[in-house]
Structure 1
Amino acid sequence: MTLPTRTLLTLIGEAALESKLVKDLEAFEVPGWTISDARGRGSRGVRRSAWDNEGNIRVEVICNTELAQRLLAHIRNQYHRDFAIICFLSEVQILREEKF
């Protein structure tokens, strides 16, 4: 079976950014996203999460490549200098093409 592809933008960053990121996603008219708590270890040590401003969140958006790249540029310009945040893009195969 051949499946259509889209771009997955994944962002892992400080939970304190959640409300700002949601406003950004709405401003960019992203049709849907998933936000979950995230924990792990990186250059800033071990990060735990209990859905407070001390933890991390993981934001996932599946959309077309052009929108993903615009979002990535916006996030880089607005948040990378002042917040612990990483972002990456992946190509994904999807079902229900009409949702993306």
Structure 2
Amino acid sequence: MHSHTRTLLTIVTEAALEGTLVRDLDRLHAHGYTITDARGKGNRGVRDAGWEASANIRVEVVCDAETAEAIAASLQEQYYDDYAMILFMSDITVLRPQKF
């Protein structure tokens, strides 16, 4: 079995940004992404999705390190000042590198 290293960029942010964020990911050359609902607590309080304005999403993008860094830089510049958002990156191993 041959494995290959890629980067997992994880974005946790306000659900209201989903449509805009998807357009950004397409523009920044993400080949794909997974979006799930997210709940939790951070420096902006509890985000429990009890109503739409308090809903969060978790977006995961598997890509090469250069693309992950470009996406992260763009999102930091555009959203960090005005929205609840965290970004983190991890090196991961994939078995089908052509998909990413």
Which bin holds the TM-score, normalised by the shorter protein?
over 0.9
Amino acid at match of 1:98: Q
Q: How many residues align?
A: 100
Residue 20 of structure 2 corresponds to which residue in structure 1? Answer: 20
Long gaps (5+) in structure 1? none
Residue 87 of structure 2 corresponds to which residue in structure 1? Answer: 87
SS in 1 for 2:6: strand
Structure 1 residue 54 and structure 2 residue 54: aligned?
Answer: yes
Displacement of 1:2 in angstroms is: 5.1
Alignment TM-score, normalising by the size of structure 2: 0.92
Q: Is the 8 A contact 1:47 1:56 kept in 2?
A: yes
Residue 7 of structure 1 corresponds to which residue in structure 2? Answer: 7
Q: Using the alignment, how far apart are the partners of 2:28 and 2:39 within structure 1?
A: 27
Residue 63 of structure 2 corresponds to which residue in structure 1? Answer: 63
Alignment TM-score, normalising by the size of structure 1: 0.92
Q: Using the alignment, how far apart are the partners of 2:51 and 2:4 within structure 1?
A: 34
Q: CA RMSD in A?
A: 1.5
Q: Using the alignment, how far apart are the partners of 1:44 and 1:95 within structure 2?
A: 38
Q: Using the alignment, how far apart are the partners of 1:8 and 1:38 within structure 2?
A: 17
Long gaps (5+) in structure 2? none
Amino acid at match of 1:34: T
SS in 1 for 2:21: helix
Moved segments of 4+, more than 4 Å: none
Displacement of 1:45 in angstroms is: 1.8
Residue 99 of structure 2 corresponds to which residue in structure 1? Answer: 99
